[in-house]
A and B are shown apart, each in its own frame.
Chain A
Amino acid sequence: MSDSSSRDSLLSDTDTPIRVVLAKLGLDGHDRGLKVVARTLRDAGMEVIYLGLRQTTDSIVAACEQEDADVIGLSMHNAGHLTLAPRMVQAVNDAGLDVPVVIGGIVPAEDVPILIDIGVAAVLGPGASAEEVVSAVRSVASRQAAAQ
C-alpha cells in the first residue's frame, strides 16, 4: 500500500497538509477507535476535520465541500458497512466530488472485495497499524491528487 515516491512528491509539491474528514455514519456509538485514528493522522501531519458520531451522508458531503477535504474516513463497528458504505460512495458521486472513501473498523475479510468493488478506496481492519493507516490515507490522497 505504501508508495513512498508519490508520498514525497505530494509533500514537496505543496506544503498543504492532507485534509481528512473523519466520521461515523448513522447509529453507531463506538468512537474510541476513530479518536485514536484522528490522533494518528494528526501526528502524521494531516489536518483532521473530526465530525464524530451520528453523521448522515448529507452532513459528511457538506463537510467535504466546505472543508475541501482530500479523503473521507468512515469508522464502522455496527455491521452496517454493506448498507452504509455504498450509500456514502453514492452520495459522494452524486455530489460530483472526487473524494476517496476509506473504511475502518470491523469488516469481515469476505466483505472487503465487495466494498472495494462498489468504490471504497481502502479498508482498514482491526489489526491495522498506525503506519498502515497513515500510508493508506496518503496513498489514496496522492492517487486522487495525481488524477486531477
Chain B
Amino acid sequence: MVNPPSIDELFDSASGGDRRALGKLLTMVEQRGDAAAAVSEQAHRSAGRAKVVGVTGAPGAGKSTITGRLAATSGAARPAILAIDPSSPLTGGAILGDRIRMDNHVSSGAFIRSMATRGHPGGLAVAVPDAVRVLDAAGCDPIFVETVGVGQVEVSIAAAADTTVVVVTPGWGDAVQANKAGLLEVADIFVVNKADRPDARGARRDLELMLDLGHRGDWRAPIVLTTAIEGTGIDELWTEIERHTAHLHESGDLNRRRCRRRRDEVTDRIEVGLRDQVQRIISSESGEAALGRVDQHEISPATAAKLLLDALNPNNPCEGT
C-alpha cells in the first residue's frame, strides 16, 4: 500500500475542496490522541476566518431543516454543517439522522458531517471546537453547528459560536421553559419554526415578553417566524444572522466572544485531561486497594479520595478533606 497522506497533504487537499481529505481530518480530531493534537495544532494556525453559527432547540423543532436551508441561502461557496447527535450511553452506538433533513435542500456545496457524542464526559466540548477549527482552516465558511438543546453540554456547544440561533415551535411551552432550559441566555436570535401552526404568534409574544424583562448588552434577540419545510422565513433569518455579525464587528464583541471561547476551551481540555487521570487512578492498583478499604468500612470515601489525590500530586498535597 502507498503511505497514507501526511497531515500537511490532507490540509492542502481539503483546502482545495477535497471532501475525502476533509472527512479524514475530521475523523482524526474525533479520535483524540497524538494525531488529533497534530491536526488541531495545524488547523489553529489558520483558523479564525469563518463565521460560526450555532443552532439549537428541542428535538423535532426543525433544526436540521433550518440549518440545511440556511447553508443554501447563505450563498457561500463552501458552507459546512456539523450535526451532533447523542450516542447511546449503553452501547456507544448512534443513529445520525440529520442528513436526511438537509440533503434535499443542499444540492451541492455544503459539507455535512455528523458527529456522535461518543460518551466521553465532556468529550464533545473538546471534539467540536477542533472539528470547527479544521473546517475553518480548510476554507469552509460559514460553519453551522447543530445540537439538540437538551442538557447543559449540548446547549453550551451551540452557544460556543459567533451567533447562536435557538429554535422553538408553537406549543413548545411558555417562556418559563426556555428559562429553565437555559436557552434564553444563549440566544442571539430566536426562531419560531412551524409558524404555519396555530399559536405561532402566541409563542412569539411569550418570547417578546421574556425579552422585555431584560437582555444581555445592547443586542436584543430578534424573533423570526419560519416554516422551514417550505423555506418560508429563511431569508429573513439569514438577514438577521448577518445583522448580528455586523453588530459583533461594530461592538468589538466578536473578539471578546472568541477570546472567551478559546479560554473556555482550554479549561474544558484541562478538565477532560484531569478526568482521564481520575479514571486511571480509580482503576489503578492503589485505587482498587483504597476502594476495597472503603467497602470494608476501614476508611471513609473522603479519606480514600484524599489518599489517591495525594498520590496523584505528591508535591502539592491536597489541603483539607
A63→B106 CA distance, assembly (Å): 12
> Counting CB contacts under 8 A, is A141 at the interface?
no
Q: Given the complex, which residues of A lie within 8 Å of B92, measured CB to CB?
A: 17, 45
Return chain A residues, CB-CB under 8 Å to B94: 17, 42, 47-48
User: Which residue of the partner chain A has the closest CB to B92?
Assistant: A45
Cβ-defined contact, A43 with B88, below 8 A: yes
Chain A residues with Cβ below 8 Å from B1 are 147-148
CA distance A55 to B104 in the complex (A): 10
A contact residues, total (Cβ < 8 Å): 31
| A43 lies within 8 A of B91 (CB) | yes
CB neighbours (8 Å) of A63 from chain B are: 99, 103, 112
Q: Which of A65-73, A83-91, A102-110, A111-119 contacts B (4 or more CB under 8 A)?
A: A65-73
Q: Which residues of A contact B299 (CB under 8 A)?
A: none
Q: B23 near A68 (CB under 8 angstroms)?
A: yes
Cβ proximity bits B84-120 to A, threshold 8 Å, 1 near / 0 not:
0001100111111101100100000001111010100
- Is there an interface contact between A65 and B116, defined as CB atoms closer than 8 Å? no
Indicate if the CB atoms of B91 and A51 lie closer than 8 Å: no
Contact with A along B207-234 (1 / 0, CB 8 A): 0000000000000000000000000000
| B22 contacts A by Cβ under 8 Å | yes
Complex CA distance for A96 and B20, rounded to whole angstroms: 10
What is the CB-to-nearest-CB distance from A11 to chain B, in angstroms, rounded to a whole number?
10
Known: A17-B93, A97-B20. A67 touches B114 (CB 8 A): yes
Is the CB of A125 closer than 8 A to any CB of chain B? Answer: no
Tell me whether B27 is interfacial, beta carbon within 8 Å. yes
A-B contact count (CB 8 A): 80
Chain B facing A: main interface SS? mixed
- Do A49 and B19 touch (CB < 8 A)? no
Determine if B141 is an interface residue (Cβ-Cβ < 8 Å): no
Q: Does B26 contact A (CB under 8 A)?
A: yes
The answer on a CB contact under 8 Å between B26 and A68 is yes
Q: Is the CB of A67 within 8 A of B116?
A: no
Q: Known: A62-B19, A65-B19, A148-B1. Contact between A42 and B95, CB under 8 A?
A: yes
Partner of A42, one of B26, B88, B100, B113: B88
Residues of B near A38 (CB, < 8 A) are 95
Bound-state Cα–Cα, A42 to B92, Å: 8
Interface residues of A (CB under 8 A from B): 14-17, 38-39, 41-52, 55, 59, 62-63, 65-68, 95-97, 147-148
In the complex, 22 of the A-B residue pairs with CB atoms within 8 angstroms, ordered by the A residue number, are A16-B27, A16-B30, A17-B116, A17-B118, A41-B93, A42-B91, A42-B95, A43-B93, A45-B91, A45-B92, A47-B94, A48-B95, A63-B99, A65-B20, A65-B23, A66-B19, A66-B112, A67-B23, A68-B20, A68-B27, A148-B1, A148-B4
